[in-house]
């Protein structure tokens, strides 16, 4: 019986991974097509479509998306850190209310948030000419719930006695923050940066409403392109994005060692 | 007269309506090892935390080496503390943990490294300097926590149940080691525990606390031999309690035990008079069971029947039921060739009058 369960478990793990990863494999194959047809089993392979990616048409939104994601992840993580500190360190009966408020952008569909933001920005005449600023505000808004949550979990996971230990040893509050709390928060901060970066980079619903000519993210550029053409260039763009994300996660994980915070509390 | 190293005057701590500590007045001399002993919730840890400065008392003053520190934050008090769960910094090596206090006080790197190494040598952990806390056993982490607390040469060392997470054998050897180290360093120590054995074996003085108040302050010998209240007598060591009524006067006073269990002569030192209701206690190990043909003097003997015999390693616990149903525990050394005790047999319990500890009822 145990054996049967074990086999079932292994099969389902493989199935889940296949379900998650095979579509990416399809994209990779499609990007290597020698013709302008997307084929699952091409006769031969070619890198010609990647040449297409490295033109202004794609490089500009790609660069814009990277800049936006980088700024968003930094802003959302700083705000998330502040929110997490407020909730975790100030003993206040309203804490759960504050936490709910910080998480509230999650409760509305992002597309609704996008429309609302567009109207709000229009009302205060911020809808044109600001380019990255409105997008940054919108993206940061929807990322803050994630970063707050991650950093709060990290704070709750370590022993509060450590702060007492530091202060008895002569550390001021600032020194405790610098030498004890922030180093212990490193995994949470890196997890927050990584995830808000990825979520911003991949975001469609907010970007859809706040992108403008000259301030277009890669996702929106893909959607615009899709409106009149489907060819392997899109797959190649996707592969490039995929590689960027994988490299980024690998590098941040190498520095921040955050992956353990995602599945265990220690 | 040397000024006390730590002085608490009339300290009180309230949490909303709950009084955690009250009327706490205590002076601790330099180099003294004082233990706050009591059950959980008695206020001992709260008292220690107020000495450390984690929160201020609601009322009263705390002085360390003459300086009023009542309102000072922990980082300005220059005390050392060992926590129950050790609270080592997980992201720092052993050496960085031990050097943390000096680093915060702005010592230069060479001085920090030197002092950290010395402290680690004191706790015999020199070779673990480059490890991380998670790579060490509980006992080893305990030693590092101690080294970290003493490295900045604090005026007072505070110990919050530091041995309670260790297994029994290790705990006993750490007791002696900790005590030896404290004596060598000459540092004043305040130790919190609920373990009476720890309190008795390690302390110069024991402060027994109950429900936020100090019940008794005294040397381990005093606390054990002359407990001043029922609580202290019951909490420290084992005690058989009796209630009864005093009869007679002066040196002829006797205590008539309730339920007709018999009568015992009243110790001369007890200040009780005829007709007074009293409670008294007697330790299991000072009661003798009279052997065949041994004298059973009037006023020092109670008759009963052995109910149960329990072998507890070095001692045998003999439970003797008296007339009226009261059961008395007698501890007899488990020596080879000693008498056999069997449940159901008659037994005469012989007391030394001065071993009776009389409390007012």
Mutate to test the interface with A, among B100, B115, B145 (most CBs of A within 10 A): B100
Percentage above 90 pLDDT, chain B: 75
Average pLDDT, chain B: 92
B239 has a pLDDT exceeding 70: yes
Start-to-end CA span in chain A (Å)? 34
Alpha helices in B206-278 (DSSP H): 220-225, 230-235
Q: CA nearest B21: which of B223, B209, B236?
A: B209
pLDDT by position in tens, chain A (length 266): 788 899 999 999 999 999 999 988 888 888 888 887 777 777 788 888 888 888 888 999 999 999 999 999 999 999 999 989 888 887 777 788 888 888 888 888 888 988 998 888 888 876 566 678 889 999 999 999 999 999 998 888 887 899 999 999 999 999 999 999 999 999 899 999 999 999 999 999 999 888 888 888 999 999 999 888 888 888 899 999 999 999 999 998 888 877 766 554 44
Q: CA nearest B267: which of B226, B318, B325?
A: B226
B359 has a pLDDT exceeding 90: no
CB contact under 8 A, A170 and B101: yes
ipTM of the complex: 0.84
Does residue A175 belong to the interface with chain B, where contact is any CB pair within 8 Å? Answer: yes
Higher pLDDT, B334 or A261: B334
Alpha carbon separation from B240 to A90, B210, B243 (Å, rounded): 50, 20, 10
Q: Which residue of B has its CA nearest to A183?
A: B91
Let me know: does B194 contact B37? Beta carbons within 8 Å.
Answer: yes
Q: Which of A168, A172, A183 sits opposite B81 (nearest CB)?
A: A168
CB contact under 8 A, B75 and A169: yes
Average pLDDT, chain A: 87
The distance from CA B318 to its chain's CA centroid, rounded to whole angstroms, is 26
pLDDT of residue B310: 93
Q: CA nearest B3: which of B179, B202, B155?
A: B155
pLDDT per position as a tens digit, B23-44: 999 999 999 999 999 999 899 9
Q: Closest approach of chain B CAs to the CA of A179, in angstroms?
A: 9
CB contact under 8 A, B74 and A183: no
Q: Which of B52, B89, B91 sits opposite A168 (nearest CB)?
A: B52
Q: Closest approach of chain A CAs to the CA of B45, in angstroms?
A: 14
Using CB atoms within 10 Å of the CB of residue A32, give its burial: 0 to 12 exposed, 13 to 18 middle, 19+ buried: buried
pLDDT of residue A255: 86
pLDDT of residue B318: 95
The set of residues, in sequence order, having a beta carbon less than 8 Å from that of B93 and lying 6+ positions away, is B129, B130, B131, B132
CB contact under 8 A, A168 and B90: no
Confidence of residue B361 (pLDDT cuts 50, 70, 90): low
Q: Closest approach of chain B CAs to the CA of A104, in angstroms?
A: 33
Query: What is the β-pairing status of strands B301-312 and B288-289?
Result: unpaired
**Three-state DSSP class for B279?**
strand
Mutate to test the interface with A, among B16, B75, B165 (most CBs of A within 10 A): B75
CA dist B234 and A13 (Å) reads 60
For residue B104, which residues of chain A lie inside 8 Å, CB to CB? Answer: 166, 169-172, 175, 179
- What is the value of pTM for the model shown? 0.81
pLDDT of residue B1: 54
């Amino acid at each position: 019986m145990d054996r049967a369960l074990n086999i079932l478990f292994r099969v389902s793990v493989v199935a889940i991974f296949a379900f998650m990863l095979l579509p990416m494999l399809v994209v990779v194959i499609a990007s290597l097509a020698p013709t302008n047809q997307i084929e699952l089993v091409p006769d031969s392979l070619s890198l010609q479509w990647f040449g297409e990616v490295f033109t202004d048409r794609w490089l500009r939104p790609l660069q814009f998306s990277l800049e936006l994601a980088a700024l968003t992840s930094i802003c959302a993580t700083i705000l998330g850190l502040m929110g997490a500190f407020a909730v975790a360190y100030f003993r206040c009966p309203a804490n759960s209310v504050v936490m709910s408020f910080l998480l509230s952008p999650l409760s509305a569909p992002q597309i609704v948030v996008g429309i609302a933001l567009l109207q709000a920005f229009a009302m205060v005449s911020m809808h044109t000419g600001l380019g990255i600023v409105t997008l940054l505000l919108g993206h940061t808004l929807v990322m803050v719930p994630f970063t707050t949550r991650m950093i709060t979990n990290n704070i709750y996971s370590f022993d509060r006695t450590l702060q007492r230990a530091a202060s008895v040893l002569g550390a001021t509050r600032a020194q405790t923050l610098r030498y004890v709390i922030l180093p212990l928060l490193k995994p949470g901060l890196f997890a927050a940066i990584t995830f808000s970066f990825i979520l911003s980079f991949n975001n469609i619903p907010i970007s859809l409403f706040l992108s403008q000519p000259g301030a277009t993210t890669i996702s929106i550029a893909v959607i615009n392109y899709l409106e009149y053409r489907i060819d392997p260039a899109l797959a190649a763009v996707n592969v490039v994005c995929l590689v960027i994300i994988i490299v980024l996660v690998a590098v941040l994980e190498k520095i921040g060692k955050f992956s353990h915070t995602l599945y265990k509390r220690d | 007269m040397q000024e006390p190293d730590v002085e608490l005057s009339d300290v009180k701590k309230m949490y909303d309506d709950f009084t955690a500590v009250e009327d706490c007045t205590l002076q601790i001399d330099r180099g003294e090892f004082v233990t706050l002993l009591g059950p959980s919730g008695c206020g001992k840890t709260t008292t220690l935390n107020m000495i450390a400065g984690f929160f201020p008392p609601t009322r009263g003053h705390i002085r360390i080496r003459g300086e009023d520190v009542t309102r000072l934050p922990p980082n300005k008090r220059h005390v050392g503390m060992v926590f129950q769960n050790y609270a080592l910094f997980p992201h720092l090596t052993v050496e960085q943990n031990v050097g943390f206090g000096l680093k915060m006080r702005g010592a230069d790197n060479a001085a920090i490294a030197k002092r950290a190494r010395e402290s680690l040598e004191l706790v015999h952990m020199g070779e673990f300097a480059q490890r991380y806390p998670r790579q060490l056993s509980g006992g080893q982490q305990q030693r590092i926590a101690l080294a970290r607390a003493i490295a900045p040469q604090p005026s007072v060392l505070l110990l919050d149940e530091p041995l309670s997470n260790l297994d029994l054998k290790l705990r006993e050897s750490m007791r002696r080691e900790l005590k030896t180290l404290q004596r060598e360093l000459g540092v004043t120590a305040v130790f919190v525990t609920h373990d009476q054995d720890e309190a008795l074996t390690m302390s110069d003085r024991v402060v027994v606390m109950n429900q936020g108040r100090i019940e008794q302050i005294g040397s381990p010998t005093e606390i054990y031999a002359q407990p001043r209240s029922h609580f202290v007598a019951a909490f420290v060591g084992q005690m058989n309690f009796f209630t009864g009524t005093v009869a007679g006067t002066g040196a002829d006073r006797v205590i008539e035990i309730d339920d007709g269990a018999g009568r015992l002569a009243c110790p001369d030192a007890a200040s009780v008079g005829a007709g007074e209701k009293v409670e008294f206690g007697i330790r299991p190990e000072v009661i003798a069971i009279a052997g065949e043909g041994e004298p059973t003097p009037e006023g020092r003997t109670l008759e009963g029947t052995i109910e149960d015999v329990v072998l507890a390693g070095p001692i045998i616990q003999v439970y003797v039921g008296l007339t009226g149903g009261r059961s008395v525990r007698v501890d007899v050394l488990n020596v080879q060739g000693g008498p056999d005790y069997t449940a159901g047999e008659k037994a005469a319990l012989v007391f030394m009058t001065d071993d009776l500890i009389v409390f007012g009822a």
